Amino acid sequence: MISRSTIDRIFESARVEEVIGEFVQLKKAGSNFKGLSPFTDEKSPSFMVSPVKQIWKDFSTGKGGNSVSFLMEHEHFSYPEALKWLAKKYNIEIEETEQTDEQKEQTNERESMFLVSNFAKDYFHNLMLNTNQGKAIGLSYFKERGFTDETIEKFQLGYCLDEWDNFTKAALAKGYDLKYLASTGLSIVKENKQFDRFKGRVLFPIQSMSGRILGFGGRILTADKKAAKYLNSPESDIYHKSKILYGIYQAKKEIARQDNCFLVEGYTDVISFNQSGVENVVASSGTALTSDQIRLVNRLTKNITVLFDGDAAGIRASIRGIDLILEQGMNVKVVQFPDGEDPDSFAKSHTNTELKEYLETASQDFINFKVSLLLKDSDNDPIKKATVIRDIVTSISKIPDGIQREVYIQECSRIMDISERVLFSELAQLLKKETTQRTKSSSNVQSNVDPNEPPPEYFYEQEQASMALVKGGKVTSQKIDQLSILENEIIKILLLYGNEEVGFSEEVITTDEGGREKFSNRKYQNLVSAEIYLHLQEDEIEFTNPIFQEIYTEMIHQLNQSEKLEIDKFINNKNTEVAAIVTSILMDEEKYQLSNWGSKSIEVKSALEVLPKAVSDVIYNLRRILIDRLVTDFLVQGKEYTNEEKEEIMSYNSLRIRLSEKLKRVV
């Protein structure tokens, strides 16, 4: 684990404009920089970087943060990977926190496996490009497949000589431990002998999302019927086939940019598509699709297009993956290639334009695909048709979003010419069955269930009620959460102006000799943060939004420590939700620079001029909303109130009127 002191040094050294400048072309805009969004296609710049605040925001997508969050969004690094990238860029030595001997040994084992795997990738690649046998066999094979030098380099393709231990000897001669050659599966160790696992095979390095070498896929080039055509690295501490997608490292940026991922089966499918200009493609490497693989894509996009060969038998074997994708809440489309074609062959036999046009025009919804595929075997048999319908409704039941289920049920009804009522009934039974199964599976922990929590059947009934509501065509508008808006405004004022000292005034009520109330104003200076804190403390107010409450609690802690807010600690907060909210608020005031209002003679009034009123208004409005809620909670239809309760309601109403007068609102 990276030490806190190292993380602090990284944040102190990293310059957000320098980091982002390696990926985005930035132009000066006042004290800031602006550029085109790296996350969307746009012609007018909506991406802004603030060197002063060391943050960025993309106004086209709403994303924002610091140097680390940019690398996590753009390069899809994990938090530690982003820190290590910055440490390398700024020549900062990584210090790890104290680990147990077992943890250190495990870390060293994994790192050693990564090192030997990277050596193997370079060795196989260089051997293929720079030796006579490598060129004659390995390189010529890839050239025959139509791969260019650029493509071979991009995917670091390689070749292992058809000799028993050529690679193993070379690795040992370079000082790599036989233990790690064996644990990665690169070498097979039997008694006192060592063999190259991939001898005589062309090699496809398999990379993680951050580019680390996890393992290899090797294809044999001879017609040996006893040997497997394709051979993968064995499972290890760094290679888990069910959690890896081939090509994810090369495809991740384009998947996020296109907001869609093409899913194929084989290595050459991925490579051929890349060479044809379709780079947002990954492969399950010949294995059945898994939930872990789908979650990898889900980090980049909600949309998957599954590409099937023309082989109908192969399609039926792979179709279960569609339900897994739906379960993850993702959108699925399907493209089927003509008979005898697969993604690799189709890409080679068509121009880049023809391939892209086919992917667009042949793409169909998973329901239409399943119907066209499964109905071929029904032969107008009613029983077989009913089976097809149940199969499709089962797929729909996997979708977690109720509205999407509703839409797909309507589509299924239209295509299959069956009433929606019957389909909804079938769907309801499936959902109830699934709820019952979940209840049974959790029966061992029933003692931990909160008796106040609604039973699982409640959620099933809610599902039915929502279906009936949509079917009836009744739609209710969602009430605006005014309290959340005000809480956001308070956090915004504290972040932007919490350390400012401005003039405030308060109403002072005195009583004269005749008992009459006299009103006057008292003017005083105070820090904005202190003023807000005093009012919220007086009313014992807590934020309903847990992220706002977390930010506010840290602010109070800072004020108690040093009487000053340190905004950097929020920007670099390990809680990414906190960092995202803070960054968004801080960058919103810079947004006007994108429109260059000054050049259009539009004068932007200084916020400091209206700050005292803004602070007063937000506090008064917060009190007003809370009082409204108290009154609403008090009033119960048909209830007879005591005199004491009536007086309390009247005092609340009186306070509401006074607050509204201050805000110049009509009650």
533-561 pLDDT, tens per residue? 888 887 777 888 888 888 988 888 888 88
CATH class of 4-89: alpha beta
- From-to residues of CATH 3.90.980.10 in the chain: 108-239
pLDDT tens, residue by residue, 299-343: 788 899 999 887 656 676 677 889 999 988 899 999 999 988 999
pLDDT number for residue 427:
92
The more confidently predicted of residues 635 and 454 is 635
pLDDT tens, residue by residue, 266-280: 999 999 999 999 999
- From-to residues of CATH 3.40.1360.10 in the chain: 248-435
Contact status, residue 192 vs residue 225, Cβ threshold 8 Å: no
Angstrom distances, CA of residue 519 to CA of 479, 510, 512, 651, 663: 37, 7, 11, 19, 17
pLDDT number for residue 182:
96
| Mean pLDDT across 445-459 | 40
Spatial distance between the Cα atoms of 508 and 242, rounded to a whole number of angstroms? 70
Contact status, residue 592 vs residue 598, Cβ threshold 8 Å: no
Q: How confident is the model at residue 152 (pLDDT cuts 50, 70, 90)?
A: very high
What is the fold, at CATH topology level, of the domain defined by 248-435? Dna Topoisomerase Vi A Subunit; Chain: A, domain 2 (3.40.1360)
The more confidently predicted of residues 514 and 308 is 308
Does 348 score more than 70 pLDDT?
yes
Q: How confident is the model at residue 477 (pLDDT cuts 50, 70, 90)?
A: very low
- Phi then psi for residue 83, to 5 deg, are -60, -40
Spatial distance between the Cα atoms of 28 and 33, rounded to a whole number of angstroms? 4
pLDDT number for residue 448:
43
For strand 201-207 and strand 193-196, is the pairing parallel, antiparallel, or unpaired?
Answer: unpaired
| Mean pLDDT across 427-452 | 63
The more confidently predicted of residues 83 and 312 is 83
| Mean pLDDT across 474-489 | 66
The more confidently predicted of residues 309 and 41 is 309
The CATH code of the domain at 108-239 is 3.90.980.10
- The SS3 call for residue 544 is coil
- From-to residues of CATH 3.90.580.10 in the chain: 4-89
pLDDT, the chain, mean: 82
Chain CA centroid to CA 426, Å: 33
Spatial distance between the Cα atoms of 531 and 512, rounded to a whole number of angstroms? 29
| Mean pLDDT across 524-533 | 86
pLDDT number for residue 606:
58
- The SS3 call for residue 231 is strand
Helices (H), 14-148: 16-21, 67-74, 79-89, 101-130, 132-133, 140-144
Q: How confident is the model at residue 608 (pLDDT cuts 50, 70, 90)?
A: low
Q: Look up the pTM and report it.
A: 0.65
Most confident option among 34-38, 297-301, 332-336, 448-452: 332-336
Q: How confident is the model at residue 282 (pLDDT cuts 50, 70, 90)?
A: very high
| Mean pLDDT across 582-589 | 81
Does 215 score more than 80 pLDDT?
yes
Spatial distance between the Cα atoms of 259 and 300, rounded to a whole number of angstroms? 7
* Residue 136 per-residue DSSP state: I
pLDDT number for residue 626:
76
Does 502 score more than 90 pLDDT?
no
The sign of the torsion formed by the CA atoms of 115, 120, 121, 122 equals positive
The sign of the torsion formed by the CA atoms of 309, 314, 319, 322 equals negative
pLDDT number for residue 451:
38
Closest to 319 measured CA to CA, from 394, 260, 405, 257: 394
pLDDT number for residue 449:
40
Q: Which residue has the tokens 């080039």?
A: 221
Q: How confident is the model at residue 600 (pLDDT cuts 50, 70, 90)?
A: very low
Report, in angstroms and rounded to the nearest whole number, the Rg of the chain calculated over CA atoms. 32
Does 458 score more than 50 pLDDT?
no
Q: How confident is the model at residue 225 (pLDDT cuts 50, 70, 90)?
A: confident
The more confidently predicted of residues 154 and 570 is 154
Angstrom distances, CA of residue 497 to CA of 2, 418, 487, 598: 33, 62, 15, 23
Q: Residues 462, 464, 469, CA angle at the centre, nearest 5°?
A: 95
Spatial distance between the Cα atoms of 528 and 533, rounded to a whole number of angstroms? 9
For strand 331-336 and strand 364-365, is the pairing parallel, antiparallel, or unpaired?
Answer: antiparallel
